[in-house]
C-alpha cells in the first residue's frame, strides 16, 4: 500500500473551522490520566493549526464507551491540553457530542482558538460509521485533518465518514510521519531487510507473516507463536502455546520462505518455565525441543546470539511482537537483547505493536529507535499491506509536474 496524501502543509487554514481527529485514547485510572504521551504527540499539529489561524475543533474517542459514560469523558484531556497549549481549550460538554454547547462553541471560535467536544463514542453511531452522525460532526467545520494513526484502520464516523462531507481532507504531522517511516521501510527498504515477529499468537499475525515474506530477506520468529512453527517441524514443545489449527499454515509459510529464498529463523533453544507464572522456575533447554510439562517462555541464549547476528547485519529492521513473556523479569532477556541489538545497529529500526513498544519503553531504549509507531493495530494492518480506511479517505497529493 503506497500512500501519497496531502498534509496540513498543503492547505491554507486562515480563519477556517477545522475538524482535527486526534488520538486522545489515553490510559486512565480512577479518572486520572496515567500516561500523557498521546496528548503530547498531538501538540505539534494543534500548535501548527493555531499558528496558521485555524479555528481548531478537536475530536477523539476514548476507551470502549458504548454511549455516554462520565468515566470516559474527555474533560480531563481538555484540561491537560489547556495546560500544554498555554491557552484555554473550550470543552463542549454535550453527551450527544454535537449538541448545543458544541455548535455554539464552534460558532464562537476565533482564529487560533481551540475547542474539544465530548468522546465521539458517546454516540453509538461513531463505530457504525453512520452518515448522519458523520454529517453532524462535519457541520462544525469545513476542513478535516486526521492525525489519529492508531484509529486509521477503523472506518468510523470521525475517521472516515466525515471525509465525505468536508474538503479538503488532509493528514496531520503524526500520520505524515507514520506514512513516511512505515511506508519507506516496507516499500523501499534498505537491504538486508529483517523483520522480527513475536507475540502470543500466530493467528493474530497470519496476514503480516504472509505479506512480509514477500518483502524481507530474513524473517525472525520468536515469542509464543514460534512453538506452532517448531511443532510443525516435528519438535516436542511440552506445554508451550500451540495453535493446532495453524500447523498447516506454519508449514506453508516455511515452504514459502524456502521458495523465495528468505532466511526464516526459529528458536534453537529456549528459556522454559514450569508453568505460566511470574515465579515459575526458569531453566534453559539444550536444543529446540521442550520437555513434558515445561513451557517455552522466552528464547534461549543460542537463539539470542543468532538473532543478534541477523540484526547486526541489517539495514532495515521492523519488529512486531515480544520474544517472550517480558512482563515477567525471569523471561524478559530475549526481548531485551533483541531490543538492544536493534538500538545498537546502524539500520533503520521500526517498532510496531503496542506490547513491543511498551517493552522498548520498559528497557529505556525508545530514544535509540528510528521510529516507534503510535498505532498497534493500525501498524500491523499497514505491514499486512491492507488499505487503512482513515488514510485512504484523505486527499491524494497532485501528481508532481515532470
Ligand atoms: P504486540 O502488541 O507488540 O503486537 P502481541 O500483542 O502480539 O504483541 O503479543 C504480546 C504478548 O505476547 C505479551 O503479553 C507476551 O507476554 C506474550 N508472549 C510472548 N512470548 C510468549 C510465550 N512464549 N508464551 C506466552 N505468551 C507469550
Ligand atoms: Mg498486543
110 and 229 part of one domain: no
Check: CB of residue 74 under 8 Å from CB of residue 26: no
Cβ–Cβ < 8 Å for 193, 316: yes
- Could you read off the pLDDT of 299-357 as tens digits, one per residue? 999 999 999 999 999 999 999 999 999 999 999 999 999 999 999 999 999 999 889 99
Residue 214 and residue 340 share a domain: yes
Q: Tell me, what DSSP letter sits at residue 157?
A: T
User: Does residue 395 lie in a domain region?
Assistant: no
Neighbours of 247 (CB within 10 A): 15
The CA dihedral of 50, 54, 55, 56, to the nearest 10 degrees, is -60
Q: Give the pLDDT mean for 91-99.
A: 98
Nine-digit cell at 353?
A: 505493536
Question: What pLDDT, in 10s, does the model give residues 333-349?
Answer: 999 999 999 999 999 99
C-alpha 104 – ligand 2 centre gap (Å): 40
In the prediction, which pLDDT does 359 show?
95
In this structure, are 96 and 72 located in the same domain?
yes
Residue 380 alpha carbon, nearest atom of ligand 1:
4
Answer whether residue 169 shows pLDDT above 60: yes
* Burial label, 308 (beta-carbon count in 10 A; 0-12, 13-18, 19+): middle
Question: In Å, what is the CA distance from 125 to each residue of 67, 70, 367?
Answer: 9, 18, 39
173 domain-assigned: yes
d(Cα 6, Cα 105) in Å, to the nearest integer? Answer: 28
Please give the distance, rounded to the nearest whole angstrom, from the Cα atom of residue 321 to the centre of ligand 1.
6
Residue 282 scores a pLDDT above 80: yes
| Closest ligand 1 atom to 352 CA | 3
**pLDDT on residue 125:** 98
Distance, CA of 11 to chain centre = 27
Lowest mean pLDDT among 15-19, 194-198, 377-381: 377-381
User: Residue 154 is part of a domain; what is its CATH number?
Assistant: 3.40.50.1260
At 375 the pLDDT is: 87
Predicted confidence at residue 318, as pLDDT, reads: 97
pLDDT at 30 over 90: no
CA distance 325 to 322: 7
394 domain residue, yes or no: no
Q: Please tell me the distance between residue 292's alpha carbon and the centre of ligand 1 in angstroms.
A: 22
Going from the C-alpha of 47 to that of each of 13, 141, 171, the distances in angstroms are 12, 18, 15
Shortest CA distance to 228 belongs to which of 199, 196, 201? 201
Is 1's pLDDT higher than 80? no
Largest CA distance in the chain: 71
Query: In terms of Cα–Cα distance, which of 11, 321, 272, 42 is closest to 174?
Result: 42
Mean pLDDT (whole number) for 100-110: 98
Between helix 173-187 and helix 376-384 the angle, nearest 10°, is: 40
143 and 38 housed in the same domain: yes
How is 246-267 classified by DSSP, letter by letter? GHHHHHHHHHHHHHHT-EEE--
Q: Tell me: the pLDDT tens digits for 232-260?
A: 999 999 999 999 999 999 999 999 999 99
Best of 195, 200, 227, 243 to mutate for ligand 1, by most ligand atoms within 8 A of CB?
A: 200
- Residue-wise burial string across 203-227, b where 16 or more C-beta atoms lie within 10 A, e elsewhere: ebbbebbebbbebbbbbbbbbbbbb
pLDDT at 402 over 60: no
Domain end, chosen from 301, 328, 346, is at 346
pLDDT band of 400, cuts 50, 70, 90:
low
pLDDT range class, residue 59, cuts 50, 70, 90: very high
Q: How many domains does the chain have?
A: 2
- Calculate ∠ Cα 117-123-129, nearest 5°: 105
Which of 148, 177, 206 corresponds to the end of one domain? 177
Instruction: Specify the DSSP element, H or E, that contains 101.
Output: helix 100-108
Mean pLDDT over each residue of the chain, to the nearest integer: 96
| Residues annotated catalytic, as ranges | 38, 201, 354, 377
Question: Does one domain contain both 172 and 318?
Answer: no
Which residue has 496528548 as its cell numbers? 39
Paired sense of beta strands 270-273 and 295-299, if any: antiparallel
Which one, of 307, 246, 300, lies nearest residue 273 by Cα? 300
Give the Cα separation of 292 and 301 in Å (integer).
21
Q: What is the DSSP string of 338-355?
A: HHHHHHHSSSEEEE-SHH
E-state strands within 188-305 = 193-197, 218-221, 263-265, 270-273, 282-284, 295-299
Specify the pLDDT at position 316: 97
* Within a domain: 390: no
Last residue of a domain, one of 316, 346, 376: 346
DSSP 149: G
Mean pLDDT of all residues in 373-397:
93
Q: Both 171 and 198 in a single domain? A: no
Atom of ligand 1 nearest to the CA of 205: 7
pLDDT at 112: 98
Closest C-alpha to ligand 1, atom 9: 199
Is the pLDDT reported for residue 364 higher than 90?
yes
Atom of ligand 1 nearest to the CA of 222: 20
Same domain, 173 and 205: no
Residues 226 and 337 in one domain: yes
Residues 100 and 243 placed together within one structural domain of the fold: no
Instruction: Assess whether 113 and 241 both reside in one domain.
Output: no
| Reported pTM | 0.91
The pLDDT tens digits for 119-162 are 999 999 999 999 999 999 999 999 999 999 999 999 999 999 99
Integer Cα distance of 269 and 282 in angstroms: 13
Ligand 1: which residues within 6 Å by Cβ? 198-200, 204, 223-224, 241, 296-297, 320-322, 324-325, 327, 353-356, 376
Residue 227 near residue 242 (C-beta atoms within 8 A):
yes
Residue ranges of alpha helices (H) inside 345-386 are: 354-362, 376-384
Ligand 2: distance of its center to the CA of 214 in Å? 24
Helix/strand/coil percent split, the chain, to 5: 40, 15, 40
Q: Is the pLDDT at 401 greater than 80, yes or no?
A: no
* Domain extent for 233: 191-346
Same domain, yes or no, for 167 and 222?
no
Amino acid at each position: 500500500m503506497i500512500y501519497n496524501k496531502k498534509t496540513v502543509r498543503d492547505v491554507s487554514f486562515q480563519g477556517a473551522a477545522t475538524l482535527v481527529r486526534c488520538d486522545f485514547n489515553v490510559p486512565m485510572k480512577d479518572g486520572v490520566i496515567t500516561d500523557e504521551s498521546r496528548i503530547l504527540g498531538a501538540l505539534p499539529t494543534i500548535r501548527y493549526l493555531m499558528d496558521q489561524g485555524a479555528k481548531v475543533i478537536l475530536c477523539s474517542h476514548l476507551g470502549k464507551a458504548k454511549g455516554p459514560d462520565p468515566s470516559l469523558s474527555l474533560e480531563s484531556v481538555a484540561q491537560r491540553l489547556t495546560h500544554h497549549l498555554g491557552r484555554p481549550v473550550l470543552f463542549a460538554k454535550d453527551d450527544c457530542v454535537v449538541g448545543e454547547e458544541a455548535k455554539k462553541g464552534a460558532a464562537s471560535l476565533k482564529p487560533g482558538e481551540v475547542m474539544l467536544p465530548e468522546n465521539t463514542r458517546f454516540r453509538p453511531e461513531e463505530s457504525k460509521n453512520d452518515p448522519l452522525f458523520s454529517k453532524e460532526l462535519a457541520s462544525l467545520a469545513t476542513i478535516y485533518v486526521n492525525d489519529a494513526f492508531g484509529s486509521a484502520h477503523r472506518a468510523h464516523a470521525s475517521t472516515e465518514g466525515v471525509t465525505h462531507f468536508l474538503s479538503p481532507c488532509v493528514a496531520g504531522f503524526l500520520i505524515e510521519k507514520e506514512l513516511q517511516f512505515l511506508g519507506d521501510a516496507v516499500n523501499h527498504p534498505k537491504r538486508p531487510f529483517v523483520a522480527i515477529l513475536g507475540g502470543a499468537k500466530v493467528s493474530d499475525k497470519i496476514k503480516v507473516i504472509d505479506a512480509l515474506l514477500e518483502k524481507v530477506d530474513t524473517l525472525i520468529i520468536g515469542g509464543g507463536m514460534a512453538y506452532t512453527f517448531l511443532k510443525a517441524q516435528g519438535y516436542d514443545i511440552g506445554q508451550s502455546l500451540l495453535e493446532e489449527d495453524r500447523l498447516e499454515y506454519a508449514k506453508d509459510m516455511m515452504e514459502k520462505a524456502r521458495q523465495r529464498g528468505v532466511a526464516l529463523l526459529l528458536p534453537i533453544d529456549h528459556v522454559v518455565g514450569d508453568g505460566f507464572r511470574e515465579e515459575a522456575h526458569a531453566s534453559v533447554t539444550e536444543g529446540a525441543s521442550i520437555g513434558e510439562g515445561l513451557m517455552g517462555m522466552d528464547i534461549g541464549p543460542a537463539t539470542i546470539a543468532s538473532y543478534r547476528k541477523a540484526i547486526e547485519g541489517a539495514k532495515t529492521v521492523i519488529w512486531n511482537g515480544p520474544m517472550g513473556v517480558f512482563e515477567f523479569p525471569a523471561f524478559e532477556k530475549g526481548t531485551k537483547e533483541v531490543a538492544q541489538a536493534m538500538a545498537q545497529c546502524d539500520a533503520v529500526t521500526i517498532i510496531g505493536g503496542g506490547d513491543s513498544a511498551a517493552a522498548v519503553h520498559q528497557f529505556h531504549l525508545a530514544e535509540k529507535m528510528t521510529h516507534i509507531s503510535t498505532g498497534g493495530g493500525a501498524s500491523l494492518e499497514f505491514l499486512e499491506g491492507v488499505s487503512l480506511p482513515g488514510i485512504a479517505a484523505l486527499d491524494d497529493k497532485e501528481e508532481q509536474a515532470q
